[in-house]
Structure 1
Amino acid sequence: MSIYPAIKASLKPRIGLYSVGLRAYWEQFPGLKERLEEYGRFIEHQMAAWADVYYYGLVDTEGEGRKAGDWLNERQVDLVFCHAATYSTSSTVLPVHQICKAPVVFLNLQPTARLNYEQSTTGEWLAHCGACPVPEFANVFNRAGIPFRVVNGMLGLDYTPAISLTNEVTHERREAVRAWREIEEWVRSAGVPRTLQHSRFGFLGNTYSGMLDMYSDFTMISAQTGLHVEVLEMCDLDRMLREVTAQDVKRKLGELHDMFQISGDSPSDPIAKKPTEEQLEWSCRVAAAQEKLVRAYDLDALSYYYHGAPSGEYEKLQGGFIVGHSLLTARGIPCSGEGDLKTAVAMKISDILGVGGSFSEIVVVDYIDETILLGHDGPFHIAISEGKPVLRGMGLYHGKQGTGVSVEAKVKTGAITTLNVTQTGDGKLKLISSEGESTNGPIMKIGNTQTPVKFREHPDAYMSRWFAEAPTHHCAMSIGHNASQFQKVAELMKLKHVVL
């Protein structure tokens, strides 16, 4: 998700699609085959808004099923939709998925809300009986040990085919809207593992000392997500800094003034001041170096932390991090602080799905409004900001060394979902998502991101449930209610997912 040109775009999912039927029907019922193929092309067209779609056509014998499996493998699809267009034997469908191991979703999408009972023929009925074979498919796939999912609902045409004996204009019916929302979630979710499998996550510096919940095994993360971790050094960034030109700094200053508003002194916090021209210039110089680093190492995300020796060059360098990492996050390169690689994954998942993903932790509870403030000292996902974020000069970074410029911002008022990527005692990644509402409640003027969030339960009850899941103490905040979407991502990535 980016309101500015992405440095690296997420990869489109590759979706396989085929329709099923029984070959004996085609001679018995003229026009039925062509009608079902038309339905298949409609589904292909709808899905093409979100993915590269490969439609095989009709699979109507077990031999055709084997051909379809090979064909789908050649196209390296991430997910396969089997459109149950009419009755088909399970022996037709099973070979497709014994050969092509991509996850499968069965589509039971009836073209009409009600048959024309008085005029219907057997051929007309067969064009609407897609639900008939699905229990058979479910039984056989269960016995074959092949996981499956089913979307039930209506096809959602905005016209009625000439051959039809009933009204097939169903695109505004809730059954069609609900089904297509679910299909879209499945399609978009397939883009997450594809993008992660082709991603390079930079790890710059180290993890904040003592934050044991964030320590991770790079091999474990690579094995379970497919991403590559590129270990970077501060001297790599310092080398980029030496290549920054005056024109680079000027360009970054332009981006800074476009994306942020510059604060005055905080009315409450003596360490939060109006940024000086020197602080802004330094932040932009570092930001230019950070972008050079991302491009030089072909990064898709970055996790970072470095405190440096007191008054050392690297302490000064890291003091300029937050602005540049917010600019990168705005351009599709999520950046997580304190060396929290797992939360970088959560931010990237959110960004791929186009719902943001801002670095957050618990700030404080407001027991009057019954909200929990979530935020951090940066970076921030500008694309989901309520208005322009504010830049404040910080006399010190709390709990860290150095001084610099920090981001004060709030996520848009409305529906939000937090996504936490944690690690269990047996070394497995686990997703935790929570849906809530960002409110227009007050925030502090201390140079930190803060969003008051009202969850469905009282803050104490919610926190009891959240803490019981043993989360990493950071999370990614996204806009919209996305738990259903994150559940599908977890399923495709074979990860456990808990919804609070």
Structure 2
Amino acid sequence: MSWLQPIKPGKKPRIGLYSIGLKAYWEQFPGLRDRLIEYGHFIEKQMSAWGEVYNYGLVDTEGEGRRAGEWLNGQHVDIVFCHSATYSTSSTVLPVHQICKAPVVFLNLQPTERIQYDLSTTGEWLAHCGACPVPEFANAFNRAGIPFRVINGLLGLDYTPSISMTNEVTHQRKEAIRAWREIEEWCRAAAVPRNLQHSRFGFLGNTYSGMLDMYSDFTMIQAQTGLHVEVLEMCDLDRMLKEVTPQEVKAKMEQVLDMFQIRGDSPSDPIAKKPTDEQMAWSCKVAAAQEKLVRAFDLDALSYYYHGAPGGEYEKLQSGFIVGHSLLTARGIPCSGEGDLKTAVAMKICDLLGTGGSFSEIVVVDYIDETILLGHDGPFHIAISDGKPILRGMGLYHGKQGTGVSVEAKVRTGPVTTLNVTQTGDGRLKLISSEGESTNGPIMKIGNTQTPVKFPLQPDDYMTRWFAEAPTHHCAMSIGHNASLFEKVGVLLNVNHVKL
């Protein structure tokens, strides 16, 4: 759908890569060096699907390690993969990461599933002994206080090099598939810190009065994520509203009619009715102003809420928020209601990873189906919707002032993961994720987003576990099972992650 083109395309992660070896081997075993370099080029090509890869090449002495560290710093890499291609001393590898402070992942990827025992030479064996030095690296890095991760498995070639004495076609083996899934997750996760460090999050209005879990220290948010918070006023949006032309309202109306269904009155709730022409026109005008605001302030996300005086101009302005903020969320500018900045971060993480990120909270528990309905009165991430979302005119916004158009929708059926960004008593951010299944169970027809989710635990047991982690009461809902991915984001942000 053309309307879903991102307003600001995300930045790709900058991925550092090098292979290691022992310089003494090259004269002793002709062809080994070139063979290992070829493996490195294969890894580089595979990784290029997920980011910009900067491959230093072969590091085989401690001096070369220092030069590699300086070079990787010069490329401003977000993560470094060390391909353990054969044996190398830890003194070769440690200097790389004493100089370059980017997170490091060791790749212990054996080229073959089994060597030819009767035919193998020492040189042939050395092309397959990448696991040998990894314990040595682990010991040295631990004593140096440098965190690391290791991925073990098969290299996953789809051909066998001419120099090889054994079969190296392993791309369909589970050990290769598993290893490359891990590599992909680390590469994708590395995009999150890079993008957050270059992000501008708008904070429009204030936080819903009394929601103590949602108050955030802007300095704390920037210190732990790198993002900048731009404080906005309603008069900024009002200024944009005055610049909206009839042509822009018409174009926005076309977008809304293409992306939403306009339904009649709710069969059950008297406050949820078919949107009037006036409500639709106003929502589209406000939506055009909201996009102008995002572009004028170069925003990457927005958290908003406004409690105006009854009957005031700004109360009327905020009554048109939900449709426009849903459109922005679908185009890579996540918008979180009620001034919940931390959930805006969660939604942005999900969106950067291509998994959605819809604004949610607990709606109700269905003890018959053993599901928990998660949703809100908006905004909704249209890109992960189960069909076209429905627009309903609301006679009132429950718990808030004003009236307007709201979104009734559910996330598509299948695997989902919730991501909660909360704050602990010591001021640290914490990620909480839960994997479940979105079901085709019924939802209410009240103009709110709702998705029935079945978690592995019975609802009461699940909620007991969840509430014990002291979450913010909002979360972002993403499609797919992404807990492993979110865990890696936490590692790269130096933020604790808990999987329920």
When the two chains are superposed, the root-mean-square deviation of aligned CA atoms in Å is 0.9
Query: Which one-letter code corresponds to 2:397 in the other structure?
Result: Y
Q: Secondary structure at the match of 1:120?
A: coil
Query: Which one-letter code corresponds to 2:72 in the other structure?
Result: L
Q: State the partner residue of 1:89.
A: 89
Contact 1:22 1:60 in 2 (8 A): yes
How many positions carry a matched residue from both structures?
A: 500
Q: State the partner residue of 1:60.
A: 60
Contact 2:3 2:255 in 1 (8 A): no
Q: Secondary structure at the match of 1:375?
A: strand
Correspondence list, 1:350-369, <5 A: 350-369=350-369
The question of 1:21 aligning with 2:14 is answered no
CA distance in 2, matches of 1:302, 1:255: 21
TM-score by length of 1: 0.99
Contact 2:430 2:495 in 1 (8 A): yes
Q: State the partner residue of 1:7.
A: 7
Q: State the partner residue of 1:260.
A: 260
Correspondence list, 1:263-342, <5 A: 263-342=263-342
Correspondence list, 1:35-74, <5 A: 35-74=35-74
Correspondence list, 1:114-153, <5 A: 114-153=114-153
In structure 2, list runs of 5 or more residues that go unmatched. none
Q: Secondary structure at the match of 1:433?
A: strand
Query: Which one-letter code corresponds to 2:99 in the other structure?
Result: I
Q: Secondary structure at the match of 1:278?
A: helix
Q: State the partner residue of 1:345.
A: 345
Correspondence list, 1:388-407, <5 A: 388-407=388-407
- Displacement of 1:5 in angstroms is 1.1
CA distance in 2, matches of 1:160, 1:257: 54
Query: Which one-letter code corresponds to 1:148 in the other structure?
Result: F
Q: Secondary structure at the match of 1:392?
A: strand
Contact 1:2 1:383 in 2 (8 A): no
CA distance in 1, matches of 2:235, 2:415: 41
Could you report, residue by residue, the CA deviation over 1:168-193 in whole angstroms, capped at 9, with x for unpaired residues?
00000000000000000000000000
Q: Secondary structure at the match of 2:71?
A: helix
CA distance in 2, matches of 1:251, 1:169: 53
Contact 1:3 1:383 in 2 (8 A): no
- Displacement of 1:118 in angstroms is 1.2
CA distance in 2, matches of 1:17, 1:450: 44
CA distance in 2, matches of 1:195, 1:170: 34
CA distance in 2, matches of 1:181, 1:257: 39
Query: Which one-letter code corresponds to 2:331 in the other structure?
Result: R
CA distance in 1, matches of 2:183, 2:214: 34
Query: Which one-letter code corresponds to 2:15 in the other structure?
Result: I
Correspondence list, 1:198-217, <5 A: 198-217=198-217
Could you report, residue by residue, the CA deviation over 1:238-295 in whole angstroms, capped at 9, with x for unpaired residues?
0000000001101100110111010110000000000011100000000000000000
Runs of 4 or more above 4 Å deviation = none
Contact 1:2 1:331 in 2 (8 A): no
- Displacement of 1:9 in angstroms is 1.1
CA distance in 2, matches of 1:206, 1:2: 33
Contact 1:65 1:93 in 2 (8 A): yes
CA distance in 2, matches of 1:179, 1:359: 32
CA distance in 2, matches of 1:5, 1:488: 27
Q: Secondary structure at the match of 2:309?
A: coil
CA distance in 2, matches of 1:405, 1:478: 24
CA distance in 1, matches of 2:357, 2:128: 42
Could you report, residue by residue, the CA deviation over 1:138-179 in whole angstroms, capped at 9, with x for unpaired residues?
000000000000000000000000111111000000000000
Q: State the partner residue of 1:490.
A: 490
Q: State the partner residue of 1:194.
A: 194
C-alpha change, 1:3 and 1:278, in structure 2 (3 Å) is closer
CA distance in 2, matches of 1:45, 1:270: 58
TM-score by length of 2: 0.99
C-alpha change, 1:3 and 1:154, in structure 2 (3 Å) is farther
Q: Secondary structure at the match of 2:4?
A: coil
Contact 2:371 2:454 in 1 (8 A): yes
Contact 2:7 2:332 in 1 (8 A): yes
Q: Secondary structure at the match of 1:242?
A: helix
CA distance in 2, matches of 1:262, 1:177: 45
CA distance in 2, matches of 1:97, 1:343: 34
In structure 1, list runs of 5 or more residues that go unmatched. none
- Displacement of 1:3 in angstroms is 6.9
CA distance in 2, matches of 1:113, 1:391: 56
CA distance in 2, matches of 1:383, 1:155: 35
- Displacement of 1:307 in angstroms is 2.4
- Displacement of 1:2 in angstroms is 9.5
